[in-house]
Structure 1
C-alpha cells in the first residue's frame, strides 16, 4: 500500500518580519540563537538589542548604550547624528559592537552577555565621515576593519577603506588604510556603503549596498586576497516586487547550514523596516531572495520559516507604567535625565521641561517606533499638575509633528490639537482645534491609518471618543521614521499618564 501524501501546509513567515524602524540591522547567530543590533541616531538609550530563535519572532532585551557620548553634545537633540550603522560580532568569547558616529569616529564595545552590561564605548579611531565599520578576524591571526565614508563630513564617498586592526580590537594599526573597492570606478555605482565583511571557501566577501536607501540594491564583492582586486555582482534588487531599495543587512547561517539574509526597506514615515530573505550560493556567489533568472534575486513577500516550532513574539509597545522602570521600547530625544520623570502608583509623571520655538529640540520627549501600518494609541492623562503655560499630551513626531493634549491657560485646563510643519526649519506651532474640558482628566487617542494618516480624538469619560481636527500625515525625521510618544513642557509643573495602550 502506498503511503498517503502529506497535505499539511508549510509554515511560512511574512515580510517585513519587523515592521518597525530598526535601521541598518546587523545579525549574527551564536549557538541556536540569533542576535540583532541596529542604528539609533540621536535617541537614548541607543543601540537596541534584539534576540530570536528563528529570525522571525524577535524580543527586545535592552540597549547597549545607555547614554550617547560625548555626553555634553548629546544633551540636546542631534537629529540625524549619533549612532549610525553598527556591526555586531561574536569573537573570543565576547559580543562586539562596532558603531560609527560620523562626527567623532568609530567606537567599539564588548559584553560577555548580549543583554549586557556592555563596556563603555572605546574610541577606536577618531575622525569625521568614518561610517559603517565591519571587522574581520582572519584565519592567520590578523585583524582588519573595513569602513565606508560619509560625503557630508569627509567630502567624498562611494569607496570602502580597509585598515589593519589590533587583534584585541583596541586600536587601528595604520592611519589611512587602503581603498579596496571604489564605487566611482564601477558603472552606475553611487552611495556604496554599509559593508559587511566575511570569509568563505578561500574568498573574502564584502556584502555592501549601493544606489541609496530608497532606490538601491544589494551587491557582493569577492577576492582571493584581502586587499583585492574584488569582483562585483548585484545579488538582490527590487525587480517586480514592491520592496524598494532592498539592501544593507547581514548574511546569517543556521546550524543546519542554510543561508539567509536580513535587510531593511525604507518606508518613509514608518522608518526602515526589517525583511528576511532566503539565500543560496551558486558558483561562489550568493543569490538573495526569489530566483527570477540571472544573478540577482528579488525580495519575497512570504517564505517558509527558517526554524519551526518557535513561540510567536511581538515587540513591546503598550506600557501600563506599573513597573519600576519604563518599558524597553521607550527612547528619549537626547541623553536623558532621571529628573525628567517619575514612576509610582501605576502612573508616569512627566515634569515640565523648557522649550523655545517648538518640540524639535526638546530632549525630554519620550518616544517609540511606529509598530505597524495601522494601529491605535490610547492614553489617559491628568493635567491637574500643569502650571500656567504648561502643555503635555500625546504626540506624533517627525520633521512635521502634531500633538493632542492639554494646555493650562488663564487658570483653565483646555484641550488643544497643535501642528507644526517643517519643525526642523523652526516652524511655529499652530493650534488646529480645541475644546473646554470639564476636568483635568482626559483620554487621548490617535488612530494611524495607511500611509501614516493620523486621526486624533478625545474622550471625557473613557467611553465615547470625539474626533478633533483634520487628519495629520506623519512625516519621517532625519534618517528615522516618525515616532509616537508623550511629552510635558513648561517652566514647571507636571502631567500624569495612567497608561499608553497600542492596539490593532
Structure 2
C-alpha cells in the first residue's frame, strides 16, 4: 500500500477549507491582502493538488486595498457546494462577512457581497441544513477590532446566502470552558443527527483542534479535543476541513504554523468513534507524518505551479500582487518574459509599502530560486530585482546609478527600519543583465548570489526570512523608480524584463 508524507502542501496555504463535489476535491485558503484572492486548488486524491484559479479578482473596498494591507483582507474562508453552486464565505476583520458564488469552480464568480457589516467578524461558515431546509451561519471574533474573542456566534441565514435573519446568539463561549482560549475558525456541519462545529483553539503555534456538538443549532454544545500535538513535531495542529470520500472514508486537512514558511497543510485520517460518536483525527488524536493514502483513484504527482516563462508577458496563477493592481504594471507582448514597469513611488526604499510587487509563496523545503533580469530604463534610481519579502526583507537586482551605469545591488531592511541598507557591495553590470539566485536552507535561511556572465558568485551574508503578522514570507519580483514630485507617483520610468523563473529542490 502506498503512503503519503505530510505536509501535502508545503507552503503557506493558510486556514484551508475543502469541499468534495462528485469525485473532485476543492480547497481554498486565506489570501489576506494579496490579489487575486481566494486561491482555488483541485485534487482527486487529497494528496496531490494543483492551483486552478482564484475566486476573487480584486479586494473591496477598492480604495483601501490600493496599497499593501499584508495582514488584512481575506481571513479564513469556508467553501461549500449548495444548489448546484460553489459558495465561499470569508471574514474581513475591518468590514464584515462577505461571500462570492459561482456555477463552477472556474467561475464566473460573483462580485463580493457583504452579508453582514461589522468590525471583528471573522471565520464565517455557512450550513444549508437538508433535514430542515433552514440555513445557518457561524462566525468567530477578532478581539483587535471588536474587543471580543473566544466566542462563536450563530445566526439564521437567508437561504440564498444574502443576509442574516437575526442579531445572532453566542452559541459557544469558551471563556466558560476551563483551559480553552482563542477559540476561532469554526466549520459547521450536520452529521448523525447532530450539529457539529469543528473549531481550533489555543493559538496558531501551540493550539489544538476542538469539536462541539448539539442537537440544536443554538446549543447547548458539548466539547472535546480531537487533535493536538502530543509527542509529535507538528505544533499547533488545527483549523481545517473535514471531508468524506465517495467510499465513505473521512479525512481532515489542517495547517501547521512554520514561521517564515507560513501555514503548511497536513492531511489526517479521521473516523467517527463508535457509540460515543465523536471524531478521532490522526493517530488517536495525534497528527501523523506518514500514512497510507486515501482509497481514491490514482493521480499523477502534482503540486501548485511555481516555474514561469511568462508566455506573452502573462504571469501564471501562482503570482499575486500586494495590492489591487492597476493597468500597465505588467505588459503583454508577443514574446516570452515578464515586463514590469518601473512605477514611480514615494516608497522606493521600502518594498513592504509598494503595491506593484508580484509575489508567490516561499517553498517550505530547501530550494534554489533563479530568474533572469534585464533593466531597461535610463532613469537614475530606477531598480528591479528578486526579493524575499516579509516583516524584514532582502533583495538583489539591478539599479541605474546617477553615473548613468547599471549596477548590481543587494539590499535589506530590518523589521523596524523604514529604509533599506546595503547587504553586499555594489558592482557594475555593464550589459544591464544578470541571473539572480536565492538558495534556501532549513530555518528559511537564504543565500543570495548573482551571475553577470562568469558564473554565480555569492553576495552578502545569509538572510533569515521572517513572516508577516499572519503571513509567511514571500518570493517577489519588482520594478520601481523614485518619485521626484507628488504628481509623478504612478508614472512609468522604463521597465524591467524577467525571464526563466525557476524553483527546484536543493
Deviations 1:95-128 (A, max 9, x none): 0001110100101111011111101111001000
Aligned mate of 1:286, from 279, 287, 307: 279
State the Cα distance separating 1:426 from its structure 2 match: 4.6
State the Cα distance separating 1:227 from its structure 2 match: 1.2
Does the 8 Å contact 1:23/1:38 carry over to 2?
Answer: yes
Aligned mate of 2:340, from 350, 354, 359: 350
Deviations 1:399-436 (A, max 9, x none): 000000111112011111100001xx452200121222
State the Cα distance separating 1:74 from its structure 2 match: 0.3
State the Cα distance separating 1:171 from its structure 2 match: 0.9
Report what 2:148 is aligned to. 156
**1:413-424 map, 5 Å:** 413-422=406-415
Aligned mate of 1:11, from 2, 25, 34: 2
Aligned mate of 2:55, from 46, 64, 85: 64
Measured in 2, the distance between the counterparts of 1:75 and 1:437 equals 34
Does the 8 Å contact 1:386/1:495 carry over to 2?
Answer: no
What SS does the aligned partner of 1:378 have?
strand
Uncovered stretches (5+) of structure 1, i.e. residues with no partner = 1-9, 292-296
**1:244-259 map, 5 Å:** 244-259=235-250
| Aligned CA-pair RMSD | 1.1
Report what 2:498 is aligned to. 497
Measured in 1, the distance between the counterparts of 2:5 and 2:191 equals 29
1:125 maps to 2:116: yes
What SS does the aligned partner of 2:266 have?
strand
Deviations 1:369-414 (A, max 9, x none): 0123210111111113251111111101000000001111120111
Measured in 2, the distance between the counterparts of 1:168 and 1:66 equals 22
Does the 8 Å contact 2:405/2:430 carry over to 1?
Answer: no
Does the 8 Å contact 1:373/1:451 carry over to 2?
Answer: no
State the Cα distance separating 1:355 from its structure 2 match: 3.5
Deviations 1:304-350 (A, max 9, x none): 11124211112110111124631000000010112111133212111
Number of equivalent positions: 486
What SS does the aligned partner of 2:12 have?
coil
Report what 2:452 is aligned to. 460
**1:248-327 map, 5 Å:** 248-282=239-273, 283-291=276-284, 297-306=285-294, 307-323=296-312, 325-327=314-316
Measured in 2, the distance between the counterparts of 1:172 and 1:465 equals 59
TM-score normalised by length of structure 2: 0.94
Does the 8 Å contact 2:26/2:40 carry over to 1?
Answer: yes
Does the 8 Å contact 1:317/1:371 carry over to 2?
Answer: no
Report what 2:31 is aligned to. 40
Deviations 1:205-248 (A, max 9, x none): 11000000000000000111111111100000001110000000
Report what 1:443 is aligned to. 435
TM-score normalised by length of structure 1: 0.95
Deviations 1:415-464 (A, max 9, x none): 11100001xx4522001212222321111111111111000111112x61
Report what 2:354 is aligned to. 362
Q: Deviating runs (4+, > 4 A) in structure 1?
A: none
Deviations 1:132-158 (A, max 9, x none): 001111221111110000000000100
1:222 maps to 2:216: no
Report what 1:146 is aligned to. 138
Deviations 1:23-57 (A, max 9, x none): 00000111000010101000000000001001100
Report what 2:204 is aligned to. 213
Report what 2:487 is aligned to. none
State the Cα distance separating 1:280 from its structure 2 match: 1.0
1:169 maps to 2:161: yes
1:341 maps to 2:330: yes
**1:96-111 map, 5 Å:** 96-111=87-102
Measured in 1, the distance between the counterparts of 2:400 and 2:430 equals 13
1:411 maps to 2:412: no
Measured in 2, the distance between the counterparts of 1:89 and 1:392 equals 41
What SS does the aligned partner of 1:352 have?
strand
Report what 2:321 is aligned to. 332
1:181 maps to 2:172: yes
Measured in 2, the distance between the counterparts of 1:412 and 1:324 equals 26
1:391 maps to 2:389: no
Does the 8 Å contact 2:313/2:336 carry over to 1?
Answer: no
Measured in 2, the distance between the counterparts of 1:329 and 1:454 equals 21
Alignment CA distance shift 1:323-1:287 (3 Å) = farther
Does the 8 Å contact 1:355/1:361 carry over to 2?
Answer: no
Measured in 1, the distance between the counterparts of 2:440 and 2:374 equals 23
